[in-house]
Amino acid sequence: MLDVKELCKSFSKKQVLNKITFRVASGDVFGFIGRNGAGKSTTIKCILNFVFPDSGEILFKGRSTRGPRFRESIGYLPEIAQLPRNLTASEFLRYAASFYRKAGKPAEEDINSLLKDVGLEDVKKKLIKNFSKGMKQRLGIAQAVVHNPELLILDEPFTGLDPIGKYGLKQILLNLNRQGKTIFFSSHNLPEVQDICTVICIIHNGRVVYQGKTEDFITQFDAKDLEEAFIKSYRQSGGHDV
Amino acid sequence: MFNVIKYSLLENLRNKFYLASIGIILFIVWLSHYSSQINYNYGNYTMAILTFGMYFTKLVAFAFIIFLPVTNLSQEIETGTIYFILSKKIERYKYLVAKYIAFLLLYLTLLVLSSIALWLLTYVLVKERPEISFKLVYFVYAELLSGAMVLSLVFFIYTAIRAPIVTATVSAVTFFFSLMLESAKDIADRADTIFVKYFYLFLYYIFPNFRYFNLEKNIVYDKPIDPGYLLAMLAYSAAFSMILLLGSSLIFKHREL
């Protein structure tokens, strides 16, 4: 579904991405893992054309991601982005839906049903500036799926959430995957990744060091869980602990 | 694009800076009632109120048209709100133009509110020379056109350098410098050397001339306003704003976020 080939990007002569290549297949819950500064967000920004790669190719179903058709097919949740503070939850979802509707207003029941799915139905008329981090994250997911996209791209969706918030978000993501959506997300919250990802891709210092099934990676490093396997892989690739 | 205009308006109508600007403008209008005591139009309430009211409305509206767009645009980009919008099916230039229109409409609401308040004060309360206060529509027209130019300047500078404080400062300096352009023309006309002459002529033509948009004296002293002049103002403002908006759209299109 999504092919990233030989992607390179540098900022001020510092190479951030070095020939990144991976493939996200339809129906996957794909975990994109790496330390802070490994290049996860830059890769996502390249996919979405917020940052322009120096070289390489990004294809969605065999076509370039530069056209508007790509953005019809994806939903995106940025990392630690601030939602419009002075809009209410339902206004923001109507705003997000308005980019895709062909004619007329988006159905109120669709918006309500989406707010119900993410547990925000009771606060739909509340201004976003009064929301907690977890509520904002759930609203962020709702705006990403408002137009029923095939692929969801989420940048660090678990960051800053408490255990209940993480559990709730995991359930939402698994539910969306069951509905047929492909989910691509970056994270360094490895227990969550292990719980929900079928496939992972690990990058260290702008290079892909592993892509494949989560359990195969754990077995390969003879580890008890993904976190231990990740640390072993990191040390093996020459990384330092601090 | 209309959805971006609509929701930007909705969001900014709840913005504290916008609400504060309305409050300040209405306070100024109320205060202008007392200006006939100190104004050079002593004893002539309508003239005094309009002179004072329009002058200070201009100042507040000018601060508004620079600071609200700068803070709003920089916040959207720096805090990542823009990612939510630009990951949707919208071209970057449409987003920018929609924001421009939304800010201009907000600016218009300030001018209209101020004019209605001034009209109420002069026409309903004072009932002295009511025909003058009807001419406030020219004030709104001229200020809207000059506001459109300032706003396009703000957009251009911000997209080019992405530094909010520098953008606000450069825009304000450009505005105040442009009010003195007639002096540059005078110097050019009287210059002895060709270099000085063309340097000042260059300044005269390259800077926007906001003096063209000053109709206050015509309004206060009930002087006739040539319709051809009103059209020329529109053409000048539209050409200037469109060139800068086109430039900022091109820059924004090729800018990494």
Contact A83 B84 (CB under 8 A): yes
**Cα gap A93→A112, rounded to integer Å:** 10
Q: Is the pLDDT of residue B16 over 70?
A: yes
Q: Which of A98, A5, A14 shows the shortest CA–CA distance to A60?
A: A5
Question: Which range (A159-168, A206-215, B219-228) has the least confidence?
Answer: A159-168
What's the confidence (pLDDT) of residue B119? 84
- Which region among A23-32, A97-106, B109-118, B152-161 has the lowest average model confidence (pLDDT)? A97-106
Percentage above 90 pLDDT, chain A: 23
Extract the tokens encoding A109.
């029941």
- Nearest-neighbour CA in chain B from A233: distance (Å): 32
Instruction: Out of B7, B84, B91, name the one closest to residue A78 (CB).
Output: B84
Cβ-defined contact of B87 to A91 (cutoff 8 Å): no
Tens-place pLDDT, residues A127-171: 999 998 888 888 988 888 888 889 999 988 888 777 887 888 888
Whole-angstrom distance, CA of residue A172 vs CA of residue A170: 5
- The answer to whether A10 faces chain B, any CB pair under 8 Å, is no
Check residue A168 and give its pLDDT.
Answer: 81
- Whether residue B43 is predicted with pLDDT greater than 70 in this model: the reply is no
DSSP state of B123: I
Q: What is the pLDDT of residue A152?
A: 92
pLDDT at position A241, please? 54
Report pTM.
0.87
Q: Tell me the pLDDT band of B155, cut-offs 50, 70 and 90.
A: very high
> What is the per-residue pLDDT across B135-148, written as a single tens digit (0 to 9) for each?
888 999 999 999 99
What is the extent of the structural domain holding B46? 2-253
* pLDDT band per the 50, 70, 90 thresholds, residue A126: very high
Residues 6 or more apart in contact with residue A42 via CB below 8 angstroms = A9, A16, A17, A51
pLDDT tens-place string over residues A69-119: 788 889 999 887 788 989 999 999 999 888 886 555 557 778 888 888 888
B-chain CB neighbours of A50 within 8 Å are: 83, 86, 256-257
Inter-chain residue contact A100 with B89, CB threshold 8 Å: yes
| Number of domains composing chain B | 1
CB contact under 8 A, B12 and A98: no
Using the beta-carbon criterion (under 8 Å), do A50 and B83 form an inter-chain contact? Answer: yes
B84 contacts A143? CB cut-off 8 A? yes
Q: Can you list the positions of beta strands (E) in A25-147?
A: 29-33, 55-60, 63-64, 74-77
- Taking an 8 Å cut-off on Cβ atoms, the answer to whether B7 and A74 are in contact is no
Average pLDDT for chain B? 86
A110's enclosing H/E stretch is helix A108-117
Look at residue B197 and tell me whether its pLDDT is greater than 60.
Answer: yes
Q: Which residues contact B87 (CB under 8 A, 6 or more apart)?
A: A48, A71, A74, A75, A76, A78
List of residues 6+ apart from A19 with CB closer than 8 A: A6, A7, A8, A56, A207
Task: Tell me how far apart the alpha carbons of residues B180 and B127 are, in angstroms, rounded to a whole number.
Answer: 37
> Per-residue pLDDT for B98 more than 90?
yes
Chain B hits for A79, Cβ within 8 Å: 80
Q: What local confidence, expressed as pLDDT, does residue A239 receive?
A: 62
Rounded to the nearest angstrom, the minimum Cα separation between B88 and chain A is 6
Banded pLDDT at B168 (limits 50, 70, 90):
confident
How high is the pLDDT of residue B96? 93
Look at B14 and A127 and tell me if their CB atoms are within 8 Å.
yes
* Owner of token pair 């099916």: B89
Q: Distance between CA B92 and CA B67 in Å, rounded?
A: 22
Asked if A87 and A128 touch (Cβ cutoff 8 Å), the reply is yes
Domain boundaries defined on chain A: 2-82+150-236
Chain A contact probe: residue of B8, B11, B13, B87 with most A CBs at under 10 A: B87
Chain A CB contacts of B91 under 8 Å are 68
Contacts of B87 in chain A (CB under 8 A): 48, 71, 74-76, 78
The pLDDT of residue A45: 92
Partner residue facing B256 (CB), from A50, A71, A74: A50
The C-alpha angle B181, B186, B192, rounded to 5 degrees, equals 130
User: Reading across the β-sheet that carries A63-64, which strands appear in turn?
Assistant: A14-24, A2-11, A55-60, A63-64
Residues of B with CB under 8 A from a CB of A: 3, 7, 10-12, 14-15, 75, 79-81, 83-84, 86-91, 256-257
* Structure confidence by residue, pLDDT tens digits, B177-186: 888 888 888 8
Taking an 8 Å cut-off on Cβ atoms, the answer to whether B7 and A95 are in contact is yes
- Say yes or no for a CB contact (<8 Å) between A86 and B11: yes
Rounded to whole angstroms, what are the CA distances from B141 to B124, B214, B233? 22, 11, 10
How confident is residue A225, by pLDDT bands cut at 50, 70 and 90?
A: confident
Whether the per-residue pLDDT at B117 is higher than 70: the answer is yes
Please name the residue that has the structure tokens 């330390």. A35
User: Topology of domain A2-82+150-236, per CATH?
Assistant: Rossmann fold (3.40.50)
How many other CB atoms are there within 10 angstroms of residue A122's CB atom?
A: 10
Does the beta carbon of A126 lie under 8 angstroms from any beta carbon of chain B? no
Radius of gyration of chain B (CA): 20
Q: For residue B256, give the nearest of A52, A72, A75 by CB distance.
A: A52
pLDDT band at A44 (very low <50, low <70, confident <90, very high): very high
Q: Calculate the CA dihedral of residues B12, B15, B21, B24 and round it to 10 degrees.
A: 150
Whether A99 and B88 lie within 8 Å, measured CB to CB: yes
